Homo-oligomer: A and B are copies of this chain.
Amino acid sequence: MKTDHNKNIETLKQLIDSKDFIPNLSVDCTIFGFHDGILKVLLLKYHDLDLYSLPGGFVFLDEDLRDAAARVLFERTHLKDIFLEQFHTFGRMSRTENNVHKTLIQNKGLDVTENHWILQRFITVGYCSLIDFSLANTFPDAFNETCAWFEVDKLPQMAFDHDRIIRSGLEFLRDNIDTQVAASNLLPEKFTMKDLQSLYETILGETFRRNNFQRKILSMNMLERLEKLYDGSANKAPYLYKFIEKYHSKSKPYTFLEEDFI
Contact = CB atoms under 8 A, between A and B. Distances in A.
A83 to B, nearest CB: 17
A93 interface: yes
A21 to B, nearest CB: 10
Interface string A90-106: 11110000000000000
Most chain B C-beta atoms within 10 Å of own C-beta, residue among A24, A62, A63: A24
A64 interface: yes
A66 B93 CA distance: 10
Contacts of A62: 93, 121
A64 B93 contact: yes
A64 B86 contact: no
A59 interface: yes
Contacts of A120: 61
Contacts of A66: 91-92
| Oligomeric state, in copies | 2
Interface in A54-91: 59, 61-66, 68, 86, 88-91
Interface residues of A, number: 23
A215 to B, nearest CB: 16
Given A24-B25, A86-B88, A123 B93 contact: no
A112 interface: no
Contacts of A61: 24, 120-121
A253 interface: no
B86 A65 contact: no
Contact of A91 (B64, B92, B93): B64
A23 interface: yes
A261 to B, nearest CB: 20
Most chain B C-beta atoms within 10 Å of own C-beta, residue among A68, A92, A120: A92
Interface of A: 22-25, 59, 61-66, 68, 86, 88-93, 120-121, 123, 125
9 contacts: A22-B25, A25-B123, A59-B91, A59-B123, A64-B92, A65-B90, A65-B91, A65-B92, A66-B92
The list of the 8 closest CB pairs from A to B, nearest first, reads A65-B91, A22-B24, A89-B89, A64-B92, A89-B125, A64-B93, A23-B23, A65-B123
